Amino acid sequence: MTDTRYKIVIEYDPEPDFSWLEQDQYNPASLEYDPFYPSKADMDAKRNAYNGDWDRNPDNHVALCLLVFVIGPDDDDWQIIDSLGNIDFLVSSDRDWTTGTFYCVDDIPNECVYLRELASDAINGDVS
């Protein structure tokens, strides 16, 4: 057993970059536009596509950053071991994302699958 502890901080990205929304594949007026769907079933049936102009509006997105810290049994302070910024979610998909401080991956809500995966990868990268 190890006394190494981890801390996962998920917060709003202070400098979000939504410039990728300007690409043609996100512009409903472009021939390269590829619509987004709320589910795989909707995508397969080509129904219920999101409104491209709404989806392209940066006000409808939230950017998060994830910081992972470690503290060992002989350490005095938390040390950052990984960070990732500009993690984009639609604001309306609020069950898919969260903010806060967590002391293990299991503390992150189950619905936040992608954030749990990122945190787990960061911790596993430290261990391996």
Q: Which of 39, 100, 103 is nearest to 71 (CA)?
A: 103
**Residue range 4-13: average pLDDT?**
96
- Residue 128 is predicted with a pLDDT of 47
pLDDT for 13 beyond 90: yes
Per-residue pLDDT tens digits for 96-124: 999 999 999 999 999 999 999 999 999 99
- The residues, any chain, with a CB within 8 Å of residue 120's CB and separated by 6 or more, are 105
pTM of the model: 0.80
pLDDT (tens digit per residue) in 60-94: 999 999 999 999 888 889 999 999 999 999 888 87
Tokens for 97?
Answer: 């994302």
Chain centroid to Cα 39, Å, comes to 18
pLDDT (0 to 100) of residue 80: 95
CA pair distance 83, 39, nearest whole angstrom = 29
Computed over every residue of the chain, the mean pLDDT equals: 89
pLDDT band at 33 (very low <50, low <70, confident <90, very high): confident
